[in-house]
């Protein structure tokens, strides 16, 4: 048995939970759009082709904002191809994923789908093959009320009202040599500055995200952010971060500790951003948008069903990176969400990549069913319950040794206090592979009451940590009740089984 003591203090908060932390991502990649959210002719599709079975799971997952249309895809995309009569839209080669894009789904379809899903739109512009002009025109088409060529074209294409898109990404991963239109930091910094300026001339109320590093081990990491922001600090509101993690060579202890890397990445970018702020004598703060993150087994990128395999020729919506997630992956996802929430004073947007089929919490089959992967659950519960104030948690946990990150806390936690509904929620992982963990929480400044939620995701009976939810297996990894949670005054106690993620929500009053 390992032990952890956690102290939460009512007035020791980090600020309001940024609800945009629970974002997701829909890219024209593989089967995320086609046969994912959109499949005309599917028995569950509505008259617009939106799969209602998938939509139901999306609503249950609860993303607040969805980034679109890429990803690497956007760096070669003409937004004009995706508007207007569907039968007139051009079929194009998408070099990023070596696929044929039919353009049957485009901006209007995404706006309609987002309204049904109840999600905010985060639209990315192409700063790979295109530039200032296409970016500002897309803002005019989307947000200008009418009376100009582009806004009237939107009306003619079926939307009398502007889309009113607030959140815009100034390109995608342009620091990466794999990106179409890859740029140096100077080239991109100037382009982001000018594109941002021109987009704001059209709509001054938009919020802009500059491309940051594609991961923290990029050779240009640090310098990229510094140079880009030195050019574009005044024009942008956020700088982006992307990170994908996987279990390497059976090193599960390091994999379970990857939130340490996310902490490092976030804190390094905050320092860089603030250094530019000081050097440039800027008064405003630029915040962080962690707009791609997840577990992704990139080791298999050269196998048959992987994106850069060109031997199969040009295909339409092939199966690409449809990772099947196991119990360990779900626990890691829970700890990554904890890291994001613990940095919610500066990370204001985050998007799990992606939403359906492509490294996704939701899977669907063409002409077949849709289901939840293991990683669905930490996201769904945190999106539902992390509301109100982020509580700073002081954690005194037993540690374990990991090859990549040294000594790591066995128990990982984040917590929130929603004064409106009088509840404290704890999101907690036991990274211990073999031992259960006794957790003792001091709720200082609160008097605890009823336990309104206590659920745990762990290894299902008779299975191991590699259990997944597949079409064949059904949903065998999910949540079950966590028994034995006790509240006495300001003290909350529970025991976590080995290797699990759990959510505990308690009714509280002020002490
Ligand atoms: O999410 C999959 C891909 O990962 C995105 O297209 C790209 O931005 C990142 O490299």
Does residue 71's CB lie within 6 angstroms of at least one atom of ligand 1? yes
Is beta strand 167-170 parallel, antiparallel or unpaired with respect to 207-213? parallel
Rounded to an integer, what distance in angstroms lies between the CA atom of residue 39 and that of residue 58? 15
Q: What is the pLDDT of residues 339-396, one digit of tens each?
A: 999 999 999 999 999 999 999 999 999 999 999 999 999 999 999 999 999 999 999 9
Computed on alpha carbons and rounded to an integer, the radius of gyration of the chain in Å comes to 23
Mutate to test the pocket of ligand 1, among 25, 173, 174, 179 (most ligand atoms within 8 A of CB): 173
User: What is the pLDDT, as a whole number, of residue 298?
Assistant: 82
User: What is the pLDDT, as a whole number, of residue 308?
Assistant: 59
Does residue 212's CB lie within 6 angstroms of at least one atom of ligand 1? no
Q: How far is the CA of 179 from the centre of ligand 1 (A)?
A: 10
Does residue 69's CB lie within 6 angstroms of at least one atom of ligand 1? no
- Among candidate residues 104, 97, 119, the one with its CA nearest the CA of residue 33: 104
Q: What is the pLDDT of residues 477-490, one digit of tens each?
A: 999 999 999 999 99
Q: How far is the CA of 323 from the centre of ligand 1 (A)?
A: 14
Rounded to an integer, what distance in angstroms lies between the CA atom of residue 119 and that of residue 78? 24
Residue closest via CA to ligand 1's atom 7 equals 71
Beta bridge partners of 15: 390
Q: Above 80 in pLDDT, residue 303?
A: no
Does residue 172's CB lie within 6 angstroms of at least one atom of ligand 1? yes
> Binning pLDDT at 50, 70 and 90, where does residue 312 land?
confident
Rounded to an integer, what distance in angstroms lies between the CA atom of residue 232 and that of residue 207? 13
Does residue 72's CB lie within 6 angstroms of at least one atom of ligand 1? yes
Active site residues: 173, 292
Residue closest via CA to ligand 1's atom 4 equals 71
Length in residues, the chain: 511
Domains in the chain, please, with CATH? 2-10+389-510 (2.60.40.1180), 18-28+66-362 (3.20.20.80)
Question: Tokens standing for 505?
Answer: 């929500």
Q: Measured from the CA of 354, which atom of ligand 1 is nearest?
A: 1
Question: Tokens standing for 91?
Answer: 């079929």
Would you say 400 and 431 are in contact if contact means Cβ atoms under 8 Å apart? Answer: yes
Q: Measured from the CA of 96, which atom of ligand 1 is nearest?
A: 6
Does residue 294's CB lie within 6 angstroms of at least one atom of ligand 1? no
Residue closest via CA to ligand 1's atom 3 equals 71
Q: Above 70 in pLDDT, residue 452?
A: yes
Does residue 173's CB lie within 6 angstroms of at least one atom of ligand 1? yes
Nearest 5 degrees, angle CA 274-CA 230-CA 275?
20
Q: Above 90 in pLDDT, residue 302?
A: no
Q: What is the DSSP string of 214-231?
A: SSTTSTTTTHHHHHHHHH
Would you say 72 and 321 are in contact if contact means Cβ atoms under 8 Å apart? Answer: no
Q: How far is the CA of 173 from the centre of ligand 1 (A)?
A: 8
At residue 508, what are phi and psi to the nearest 5 degrees?
A: -135, 155
Q: Measured from the CA of 97, which atom of ligand 1 is nearest?
A: 6
Mutate to test the pocket of ligand 1, among 292, 294, 296 (most ligand atoms within 8 A of CB): 292
Does residue 27's CB lie within 6 angstroms of at least one atom of ligand 1? yes
Would you say 157 and 144 are in contact if contact means Cβ atoms under 8 Å apart? Answer: no
Q: Above 60 in pLDDT, residue 301?
A: no
Would you say 292 and 353 are in contact if contact means Cβ atoms under 8 Å apart? Answer: yes
Please tell me whether the peptide bond between 69 and the residue prior to it is cis, using omega within 30 degrees of 0.
yes
Rounded to an integer, what distance in angstroms lies between the CA atom of residue 499 and that of residue 463? 13
Does residue 352's CB lie within 6 angstroms of at least one atom of ligand 1? no
Mutate to test the pocket of ligand 1, among 25, 172, 182, 296 (most ligand atoms within 8 A of CB): 172
At residue 375, what are phi and psi to the nearest 5 degrees?
A: -70, -10
Does residue 291's CB lie within 6 angstroms of at least one atom of ligand 1? no
Q: What is the DSSP string of 435-478?
A: --EEEEEEEETEEEEEEEEEEEE-PPTT--TT-B-BTTTBS-S-
The arithmetic mean of pLDDT across residues 151-160, rounded, is 98
The arithmetic mean of pLDDT across residues 26-49, rounded, is 98
- Cα distances (Å, whole numbers) of residue 217 to 20, 138, 264, 292: 26, 33, 11, 15
pTM of model > 0.75 = yes
Would you say 175 and 220 are in contact if contact means Cβ atoms under 8 Å apart? Answer: yes
Does residue 94's CB lie within 6 angstroms of at least one atom of ligand 1? no
User: What is the pLDDT, as a whole number, of residue 434?
Assistant: 95
Alpha carbon dihedral 493, 497, 501, 502, in 10-degree steps, equals -40
Q: How far is the CA of 500 from the centre of ligand 1 (A)?
A: 28
Nearest 5 degrees, angle CA 114-CA 477-CA 324?
65
Q: How far is the CA of 281 from the centre of ligand 1 (A)?
A: 34
């Amino acid at each position: 048995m390992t032990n952890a003591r956690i102290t939460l203090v009512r007035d020791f908060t980090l600020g309001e939970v940024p609800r945009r932390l629970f974002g997701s991502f829909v890219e024209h990649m593989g089967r995320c759009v086609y046969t994912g959210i959109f499949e005309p002719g599917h028995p569950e599709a509505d008259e617009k082709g939106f799969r209602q079975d998938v939509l139901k799971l999306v609503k249950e997952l609860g993303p607040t904002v969805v980034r679109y249309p890429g990803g690497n895809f956007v760096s070669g995309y003409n937004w004009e191809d995706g508007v207007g009569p569907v039968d007139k839209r051009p079929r194009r080669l998408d070099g990023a994923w070596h696929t044929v894009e039919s353009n049957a789904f485009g901006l209007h379809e995404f706006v309609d789908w987002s309204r049904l899903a109840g999600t905010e739109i985060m639209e990315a512009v192409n700063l790979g093959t295109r530039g200032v002009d296409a970016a500002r025109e897309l803002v005019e088409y989307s947000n200008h009320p009418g009376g100009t060529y582009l806004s009237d074209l939107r009306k003619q294409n079926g939307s009398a009202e502007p889309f009113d898109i607030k959140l815009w990404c100034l390109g995608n991963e342009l620091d990466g040599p794999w990106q179409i239109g890859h740029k140096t930091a100077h080239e991109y910094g100037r382009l982001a500055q000018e594109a941002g300026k021109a987009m704001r001339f059209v709509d001054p109320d938009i919020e802009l995200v500059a491309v940051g590093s594609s991961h923290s081990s990029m050779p240009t990491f640090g310098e990229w952010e510094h140079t880009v922001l030195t050019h574009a600090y005044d024009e942008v509101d956020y700088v982006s971060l992307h990170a994908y993690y996987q279990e390497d060579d059976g090193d599960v202890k390091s994999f379970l500790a990857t939130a340490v890397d996310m902490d490092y990445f976030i804190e390094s970018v905050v320092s860089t951003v603030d250094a530019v702020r000081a050097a440039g004598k800027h008064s405003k703060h630029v915040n962080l948008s962690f707009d791609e993150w997840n577990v992704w087994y990139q080791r298999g990128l050269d196998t048959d069903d992987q994106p850069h395999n060109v031997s199969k020729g040009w295909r339409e919506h092939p199966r690409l990176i449809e990772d099947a997630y196991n119990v360990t992956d779900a626990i890691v996802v829970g700890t990554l969400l904890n890291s994001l929430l613990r940095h919610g004073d500066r990370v204001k947007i985050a998007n799990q990549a992606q939403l359906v089929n492509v490294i996704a919490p939701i899977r669907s089959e063409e002409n077949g069913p849709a289901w939840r992967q293991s990683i669905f659950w930490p996201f769904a519960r945190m999106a539902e319950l992390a509301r109100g104030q982020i509580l700073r948690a002081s954690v005194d946990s037993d540690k374990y040794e990991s090859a990549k990150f040294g000594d790591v806390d066995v128990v990982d936690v984040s917590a929130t206090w929603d004064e409106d509904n009088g509840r404290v929620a704890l999101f907690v992982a036991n990274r211990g592979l073999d031992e259960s963990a006794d957790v003792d929480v001091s709720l200082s400044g609160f008097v605890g009451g009823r336990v309104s939620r206590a659920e745990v995701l762990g290894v299902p009976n008779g299975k191991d940590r590699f259990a997944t939810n597949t079409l064949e297996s059904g949903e065998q990894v999910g949540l079950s009740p966590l028994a034995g949670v006790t509240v006495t005054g300001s003290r909350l106690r529970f025991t976590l089984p080995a290797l699990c993620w759990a959510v505990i929500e308690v009714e509280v009053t002020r002490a």
